[in-house]
Amino acid sequence: MKKKKIAEAIILVVVSVVLLFGIPRYVMERVVVDGPSMEITLQDGDQILVEKISRYFGALNRFDVVVFYPDEETKKADGRYYVKRIIGLPGETVRITGNSIYIDDVLLEESFGSTEMGSAGIAADSVTLGEDEYFVLGDNRGISKDSRSASLGAVPLSRMEGRLVLRIFPFRKFGTVDK
61: Cβ contacts below 8 Å, ≥ 6 apart: 86, 89
Question: Which residues have a catalytic role annotated?
Answer: 37, 84
Q: Is the peptide bond before 40 cis (omega within 30 degrees of 0)?
A: yes
In this structure, which topology does domain 28-173 adopt according to CATH? Answer: Umud Fragment, subunit A (2.10.109)
pLDDT tens-digit series, residues 151-160? 888 999 988 8
Q: What is the pTM of this model?
A: 0.81
**Three-state SS for 43?**
coil
pLDDT tens-digit series, residues 80-97? 789 999 999 999 999 999
- Alpha helices (H) along 37-172: 72-77
In the chain, what are the domain boundaries? 28-173
pLDDT tens-digit series, residues 129-179? 999 999 999 998 888 888 999 888 899 998 888 898 888 888 888 877 876
